[in-house]
Structure 1
Amino acid sequence: MKEDILKNAAELFLNLGFKSVTMDDIAQQMAISKKTIYAHFSTKTKLVKATVDYLIKEIDLGTTKLSSRNLNPIVETYEMKKYAMDMLKNEKSSPQFQLKKYYPEVYYPLREKQFEIVQRNVIKNLERGITSGHYKGDIPISFISRIYFVGMLGIKDKNLFPQEEYSNAKLMDYFLKYHLSSICTEKGLNTLDELLNSNKPANEN
C-alpha cells in the first residue's frame, strides 16, 4: 500500500503541483480513506519527502541502466534527457520551483542528491566521449560536469525562461545543443547533426 500511495502521489504532484494537491485528492484518486494515507505518512510534508525520495531513486536506477548500455555518448545524452522528462511528466507543474518555495527542507537535500547523480552520469559520459573521439580531449571534465548541473537548474527558472516563450522540451533541446556543440569534435558534431536531423519534425525539413 505504501508504494501505491507514493506512485499515485507522484503522478498527482508532478501533474498538478506539490502545493495544490491535497491528501484528500490522493485518497480520492486511490479510492481509499485519507486515514489510510495518514497511517503511512503522518503529514503532507512527510509524504512529499517520501515521494521525492521515491522519484529520485527511480531516476537514479533508470539513468544507471541507461549508462550501462554504453550507447554513443551523444545519443546517450539525449536518451537521458528523454527518460528524465518522461519520469517527471515534462515538469509541467514546475516541481522543483514549488519544492524550493513551499518545501525547502525537502528541496535542498534533493538538490544535493541530484548533483551526485548528474555528476556521476555526466563525468562518465564525458570520459567515454573523449575515448570514442566524439568529445575534445582537452576539455576540463569536472568543470563541465558542474556547469552542466548549474545550467540544468538555471533553465528551470520561469522568471528567466517564461513558460509562454520557452516550453520545457524546447529549453532542454536548446541547452543540450549548446552543451554538446561546445565540447564536440568534428566527429561528434557530425553525429549531433545527424541525430538532430533525424528527430526534426517533418514540417521543419
Structure 2
Amino acid sequence: MKEMIVEKATEMFLKYGFKSVTMDDIASEMGISKKTIYQHFCNKNDLVEATTLNLFDTISCGVDGIREMGKNSIEEIFIIRSFMMQHLNNETASPFYQLQKFFPKIFSCLRQKQFQKMHGCMHDNLVKGIDNGLFRADINVEFVSRIYFTGLTGVKDNDIFPAEMFAISDLTKQFLEYHLRGIVTPKGLEILEALLEEKSFKSV
C-alpha cells in the first residue's frame, strides 16, 4: 500500500503541484481513507519527501540504462532529455516552483542529488565525446559539466522564462542545441544537425 500511495501521490503532485494536492485529494483518488495514508506517512511533508526521492531514483535508473546503450555522446544527451520529459509529464514549471516555495528543504536536497547525478553523467559524456572526436579537446570538462546543469535548471525559472512565453519542452531542446553547438567539432556538428532534422527528435 505504501508504494501505491507514493506512486499515486507522485502522479498527482506532478500534474497539479506539490502544494495544490492535499492528503484528502490523494485519499479520494485512491478510494481509501486519509487515515490509511497516515499509517504510512506522518504528514504531507514526509509524503512529499518520499515521492521526490522515488522519482529521483526512478529517473536515475532510467538514465543509467540509457548510458549503457552505447550511443554516441550527442545522441545520448537527446535520449536522456526525452526520457526525463516523459517521466516528468513534460516538467511544467508549476509543480517544482511549488516544491521550492513550500518545501524548501526537500527541494534543496533534491537539487543537490540532481547536481551530483547530472554532473557525473555529463562529465563522462564529455570525456567520451572528446575521445570520439565529437567534442572539442580544448573544452574545460569540469566547467562545461557544471554550466550545463546551471543552464538546464536555469531555463526552468518561471520568473525569467514565463510559461506564457516559453514552453518548457521547447526551452530544454533549445538549450541543448545552444549547449552542443558551443562544444562540438565539425564531425560532431554533422551528427547534431542530422539529429535535429529527425522527426523522432523534433516531436519531443
The bucket for the TM-score relative to the shorter chain is over 0.9
- 2:109 alignment partner AA: P
- The residue that corresponds to 2:106 in the other structure is 106
Q: Deviations over 1:38-86 (max 9, x none)?
A: 1001100110001001000111111111111121111100001011111
In 1, Cα distance between equivalents of 2:95 and 2:127: 31
Shift of the 72–201 alpha-carbon distance from structure 1 to 2, 3 Å rule, reads: closer
Q: Contact between 1:15 and 1:93, CA under 8 Å: does it hold in 2?
A: no
Match of 2:61 in 1: 61
- The equivalent residue for 2:84 is 84
- 1:12 deviation in Å? 0.1
Structure 2 partner of 1:52: 52
Contact map agreement 2:17 2:96 (CA 8 A) in 1: no
CA RMSD of aligned residues (A): 1.3
Q: How does 1:170-189 map to 2 (within 5 A)?
A: 170-189=170-189
Give yes or no for contact 2:73–2:126 (8 Å, CA) kept in 1: yes
Cα 1:159–1:53 shift into 2, 3 Å: same
Structure 2: which 5+ runs fail to align?
none
C-alpha contact 1:17 1:93 (8 A) present in aligned 2: no
Alpha-carbon distance, 1:91 to partner: 1.3
Q: Which residue of 2 aligns with 1:140?
A: 140
Partner of 2:123: 123
Shift, 1:100, TM fit:
1.1
- Deviating 4+ runs (over 4 angstroms): none
Which SS does the other structure have where 2:32 is aligned? Answer: coil
In structure 2, how many angstroms separate the alpha carbons of the residues matched to 1:191 and 1:123? Answer: 20
After TM superposition, list the pairs within 5 Å mapping 1:25-44 onto structure 2: 25-44=25-44
Task: Measure, in 2, the Cα distance between the counterparts of 1:198 and 1:144.
Answer: 26
2:71 maps to amino acid:
L
SS in 2 for 1:161: coil
Is this contact kept in 2: 1:27–1:34, CA < 8 A?
A: yes
Question: How much does 1:150 deviate?
Answer: 0.7
Q: In 1, distance between residues paired with 2:178 and 2:34? A: 47
Deviation, structure 1 residue 201: 5.8
The CA distance in 2 between the partners of 1:92 and 1:80, in whole Å, is 17
Q: Is contact 1:14-1:93 (8 Å) kept? A: no
Asked if 1 retains the 8 angstrom alpha-carbon contact of 2:135 and 2:183, the reply is: yes
Identical aligned residues as a percent: 44
What do the CA deviations read for 1:117-165 (whole angstroms, capped 9, x no partner)?
1011101111111111111111100100000111111111111101111
TM-score by length of 2: 0.96
Q: Contact between 1:5 and 1:37, CA under 8 Å: does it hold in 2?
A: yes
AA aligned opposite 1:160: I
Q: In the superposition, relative to structure 1, how do residues 57 and 166 fare at CA in structure 2: closer, same or farther (>3 Å)?
A: same
Alpha-carbon contact 2:93-2:157 (below 8 Å) kept: no
Judge conservation of contact 2:74–2:191 (CA < 8 Å) in 1.
Answer: yes
**For this pair of structures, how many residues does the alignment match?**
202
CA distance in 2, matches of 1:53, 1:176: 26
Distance 2:93 2:156 in 1: 11
